[in-house]
């Protein structure tokens, strides 16, 4: 329990992460599993969507010239020569003085260049009329959807590096893509240590506390594109902690036992069997955070106090997981610039992660700021990062807020 000889600047710790992360290879995923994944290559359509000119209205396919001058006072007659439903085609050609009944989405019959809505004809009967009277005029191309107006064949539809959204999946399906190459999700081994811990979700009792960091980290890893592996609490035994740190994974998170106390084994194990590149960061909370390499994979030492754990994850480990998953390193939080209702105090020489609430359109620092008060992050609307060269901000200052 000798304390930290020095603490690394946050920017230097972030720089270490950036320089040591390696992207993962790709894998193929089916259409139903693509949402939320990151494309590993461009998707080029080899078809037009739609593959034909189509009606955008229920009405009559006509030659636009036949409607010139039509009005309620100048009804022009047209003979109905057929019907086209979606999925079918008209076998003939629409000539002058003729009309073909069409439904929305149906292919335009040859010879027709416009669609006359049912509201512009008499009788107002789309199904039984053999002759109609036109009471409104349309121009060429009116109410006609052109071939390829949705997706043009030969064009890039979605680019590599894009996080696939639900509507993207619909577009991929529309061009006949049943599967696509996506960046692999990093497997993240979560190592939760502490003999004082009870399994997640159990009722705390006596002098023991229930594990909150395990399920929180698993949810964060999933959010950031990783696959969490959390088999449960690891005893405060060096051999068991080392074995857990060497599990089959792309990245390892160790929560608890990361500081310099009697039961803080993880830093020593990492230094002895791998590389402890950083231990101790100039920030509050999360100063005991560390990181290094073991058996070729990144290992992040996260404090056991839940807010410190969350903060260190967001600043360092989450950044690495997002980069490995192809999502980029930026935080997945909405940013807003808001004014402070009262001063926000900090200390020069460290980065402060200050939880805040939004009150009447302004932000207010929360009075409870302890690293063990996890509920402060659920009562907070977001957080402000105060840089190491600042003593804080006065009331009325406009600051950048990241919203949970």
Question: For position 354, which CATH number holds?
Answer: 2.40.340.10
pLDDT for 5 beyond 90: no
Judgement on whether residues 196 and 227 belong to the same structural domain of the protein: yes
From 274, 298, 324, the end of a domain falls on 324
CB neighbour class for 238 (10 Å; exposed up to 12, middle 13-18, buried from 19): middle
Average pLDDT (265-284) is 95
87 SS3 class: coil
Percent of the chain with pLDDT over 90: 83
Q: Residue 343: phi, psi to the nearest 5? A: -65, 150
pLDDT computed for residue 206 by the predictor:
86
107-120 pLDDT per residue, tens: 999 999 999 999 99
pLDDT for 263 beyond 70: no
Give, for 77, the enclosing helix (H) or strand (E). Answer: strand 76-84
Judgement on whether residues 166 and 193 belong to the same structural domain of the protein: no
34-81 pLDDT per residue, tens: 999 999 999 999 999 999 999 999 999 999 999 999 999 999 999 999
Residues 6+ apart with CB under 8 A from 21: 298, 319, 320, 323, 324
Judgement on whether residues 31 and 179 belong to the same structural domain of the protein: yes
From 87, 121, 145, the end of a domain falls on 145
Judgement on whether residues 240 and 358 belong to the same structural domain of the protein: no
Tokens, residue 312: 């260190």
Task: Tell me which of 373 and 217 has the higher pLDDT.
Answer: 217
On whether residue 120 sits in a domain, the answer given is yes
Asked whether 359 and 336 are in contact (CB, 8 A), the reply is no
pLDDT computed for residue 244 by the predictor:
95
pLDDT for 123 beyond 80: no
In 102-144, alpha helices (H): none
On whether residue 82 sits in a domain, the answer given is yes
Average pLDDT (203-229) is 93
Residues 6+ apart with CB under 8 A from 119: 136
Question: The CATH number of the domain where 116 resides is what?
Answer: 2.170.190.11
pLDDT computed for residue 125 by the predictor:
59
Say which range, 41-50, 190-199, 332-341, has the weakest mean pLDDT.
190-199
Average pLDDT (376-401) is 93
- CA proximity to 46, closest of 121, 127, 155: 155
Judgement on whether residues 190 and 310 belong to the same structural domain of the protein: yes
Q: How far apart are CA 138 and CA 66, in angstroms?
A: 9
Q: How far apart are CA 183 and CA 323, in angstroms?
A: 11
pLDDT computed for residue 130 by the predictor:
87
Judgement on whether residues 129 and 226 belong to the same structural domain of the protein: no
Q: Residue 216: phi, psi to the nearest 5? A: -65, -45
Judgement on whether residues 296 and 195 belong to the same structural domain of the protein: yes
221 SS3 class: helix
Average pLDDT of the chain?
92
Task: Tell me which of 355 and 374 has the higher pLDDT.
Answer: 355
pLDDT computed for residue 368 by the predictor:
58
278-336 pLDDT per residue, tens: 999 999 999 999 999 999 999 999 998 888 999 999 999 999 999 999 999 999 999 99
Judgement on whether residues 200 and 273 belong to the same structural domain of the protein: yes
Indicate the number of domains in the chain.
Answer: 4
pLDDT computed for residue 1 by the predictor:
44
Question: Pairing mode, if any, of strands 187-193 and 233-234?
Answer: parallel
Task: Tell me which of 402 and 200 has the higher pLDDT.
Answer: 402
- CA proximity to 273, closest of 249, 248, 239: 239
- The pTM (predicted TM-score) of the whole model is 0.85
Judgement on whether residues 267 and 397 belong to the same structural domain of the protein: no
Tokens, residue 189: 């081994």
On whether residue 152 sits in a domain, the answer given is no
Inter-CA distances, 11 with 15, 127, 139, 387, Å: 6, 71, 63, 10
Q: Band of the pLDDT at 121, cuts 50, 70, 90?
A: very high
Q: How far apart are CA 17 and CA 194, in angstroms?
A: 26
In 230-287, alpha helices (H): 238-245, 266-273
Q: Residue 330: phi, psi to the nearest 5? A: -65, 150
Task: Tell me which of 258 and 352 has the higher pLDDT.
Answer: 352
pLDDT for 370 beyond 70: no
Residues 6+ apart with CB under 8 A from 250: 24, 186, 187, 188, 297, 324
Give, for 300, the enclosing helix (H) or strand (E). Answer: strand 297-302
Inter-CA distances, 73 with 69, 70, 117, 133, 135, Å: 10, 8, 18, 11, 8
Inter-CA distances, 399 with 79, 87, 137, 362, 365, Å: 70, 57, 58, 10, 12
Instruction: Write out the residue range of the structural domain in which residue 382 sits.
Output: 334-403
From 290, 324, 358, the end of a domain falls on 324
Judgement on whether residues 249 and 315 belong to the same structural domain of the protein: yes
Q: How far apart are CA 291 and CA 251, in angstroms?
A: 11
Question: CA-based Rg of the chain, rounded to a whole angstrom?
Answer: 32
On whether residue 219 sits in a domain, the answer given is yes
pLDDT computed for residue 376 by the predictor:
80
On whether residue 283 sits in a domain, the answer given is yes
Give the distance, in angstroms, between the CA of residue 93 and the centroid of all CA atoms in the same chain. 49
Q: How far apart are CA 198 and CA 209, in angstroms?
A: 6
């Amino acid at each position: 329990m000798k304390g930290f000889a020095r603490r690394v600047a946050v920017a230097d710790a972030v720089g270490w992460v950036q320089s040591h992360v390696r992207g993962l290879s790709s894998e193929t995923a089916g259409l139903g599993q693509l949402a939320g994944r990151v494309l590993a290559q461009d998707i080029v359509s080899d078809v037009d969507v739609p593959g034909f000119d189509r009606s955008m209205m229920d009405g009559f396919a006509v030659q636009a010239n036949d409607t010139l001058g039509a009005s309620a006072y100048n009804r022009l007659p047209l003979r109905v020569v057929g019907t086209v439903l979606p999925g079918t085609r008209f076998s003939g050609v629409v000539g002058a003085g003729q009309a073909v009944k069409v439904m929305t989405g149906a292919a335009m019959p040859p010879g027709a260049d416009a669609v006359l809505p049912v509201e512009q004809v008499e009788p107002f009967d789309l199904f039984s009329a053999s002759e109609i009277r036109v009471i409104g005029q349309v121009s060429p191309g009116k109410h006609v959807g052109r071939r390829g107006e949705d997706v043009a064949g030969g064009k890039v539809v979605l680019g590599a590096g894009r996080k696939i959204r639900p509507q993207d999946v619909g577009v991929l399906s529309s061009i006949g893509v049943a599967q696509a190459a996506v960046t692999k999700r990093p497997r993240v081994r979560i190592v939760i240590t502490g003999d004082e811990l009870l399994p997640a979700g159990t009722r705390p009792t006596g002098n023991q506390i229930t594990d909150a960091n395990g399920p929180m980290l698993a949810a964060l890893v999933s959010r950031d594109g990783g696959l969490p592996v959390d088999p449960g609490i690891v005893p405060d035994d060096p051999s068991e902690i080392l074995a857990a740190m060497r599990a089959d994974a792309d990245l390892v998170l160790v929560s608890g036992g990361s500081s310099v106390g009697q039961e803080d084994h993880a830093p020593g194990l990492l230094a002895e069997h791998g590389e402890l590149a950083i231990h101790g960061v100039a920030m509050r909370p999360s100063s005991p955070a560390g990181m290094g390499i073991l058996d070729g994979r990144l290992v992040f030492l996260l404090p056991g106090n839940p807010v410190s754990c969350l903060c260190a994850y967001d600043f360092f480990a989450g950044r690495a997981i997002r980069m490995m998953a192809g999502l980029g390193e930026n935080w997945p939080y909405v940013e807003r610039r808001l004014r402070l209702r009262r001063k926000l105090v900090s200390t020069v020489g460290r980065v402060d992660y200050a939880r805040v609430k939004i009150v009447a359109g302004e932000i207010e620092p929360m009075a409870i700021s302890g690293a063990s008060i996890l509920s402060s992050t659920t009562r907070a609307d977001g957080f402000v990062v105060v840089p190491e060269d600042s003593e804080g901000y006065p009331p009325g200052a406009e600051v950048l807020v990241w919203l949970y």
